[in-house]
Amino acid sequence: MNRKLIAIVPLLIFVFLCVFLYQGLFANPREIQTGRIGDTMPAFNLPDLMDNNSRWTEQQLKGDVYLLNVWGTWCPTCLVELSYLTKLREQGVKIIGLYYVQGYDADFDGPFDMNALRKEVNDMLARTGNPYQFNILDLHRTLSLDLGVSGAPETFLVDKQGTILLHHTGDINPRVWRAKFAPLMQELN
C-alpha cells in the first residue's frame, strides 16, 4: 500500500508542474506592475497639451469618476484603441489624456517643438475620433513615473475622491472593458 502511494508521487509532481506551466503560457507578465492601486492621485502641476496658458493639478480632477489614459502619437497600440475610447466617451465615460512624450531629451534636442506635436495630435485624432476631454502634457514623464507608468498605452480608473482603483497596461478593447472596467464603473455610478 505504502509502496503504491510513493509510486504515485512522481506522477503527482508531474501533473502539478503541467498545471503550473500551462497557466504560465497564458499569464500576462505585465499584469503585476501595480504600485499605485488604492493610493490617491499623486500631486502634479502640468501644462495642457493644446493650451499654453492653462495648467492642470490633481485637485482640479477631483469630483468625477474618470479614466486617465496614457498615450502618444508614436504608439501604434494607442492608435488602435483610440476609436474604441471615442465610443466610450459617447457612452458618457470621462477620459482624460496623459500625453507621454517619448524620446525627447532637452540636453540633445534643444527646445521642444510644441506646434509640431499639436499638429500631429490633431491629425491623429481627426482620423480616429477624439476620446479626450483634454490632454495633460507630461514632457519629462514626471507624473508618469509617479504613477508607475512603463510605456503606452496604460489606463487608470480614478474615483470621485481621486483614489486610483485600476491600472491597466495595454490597450482597452471591448473584452478588457467588460472584464476589468465595466464592473467597477457600475459600482461607482
Partner 1 sequence: MKTVLLLLSLIISVSAFAQQDRYQFDNKEQAVRFEELTKELRCPKCQNQNIADSDAVVAKDLRDKVLVLVKENKSKDEVIDYMIDRYGYFVHYDPPVTPATLVLWVLPVLIVILGFGFIVIRQRKASVKQRWSENDELLLNKLIAQNKHQERS
The residues that touch partner 1, with contacts defined as CB under 8 A, are 29-30, 32-36, 39, 102-103, 141, 144-151
Three cell numbers at 141? 514623464
Q: Which is nearer to partner 1, 103 or 110 (CB)?
A: 103
Q: Distances in Å between the alpha carbon of 19 and those of 32, 58, 149?
A: 20, 44, 32
Using DSSP's 3-state secondary structure scheme, residue 69 falls into: strand
In the complex, minimum distance from the CB of residue 154 to partner 1, in angstroms, rounded to a whole number: 11
Closer residue to partner 1 (CB): 36 or 62: 36
By beta-carbon proximity to partner 1, the closer residue of 77 and 150 is: 150
Closest CA to 101 of 145, 60, 165: 145
- Residue given cell 492653462 in the structure block: 54
Judged by beta carbon, residue 74 or residue 134, the one nearer partner 1 is 74
Q: 131 and 89 in contact (C-beta within 8 Å)?
A: yes
Minimum distance between the CB of residue 119 and partner 1, rounded to whole angstroms?
Answer: 22
Check if the beta carbon of residue 153 is closer than 8 Å to that of residue 171.
yes
| Shortest CB 174 distance to partner 1, Å | 26
- Minimum distance, C-beta of residue 93 to partner 1, in the bound complex (Å): 26
Q: Note whether 70 and 170 are within 8 A (CB).
A: no
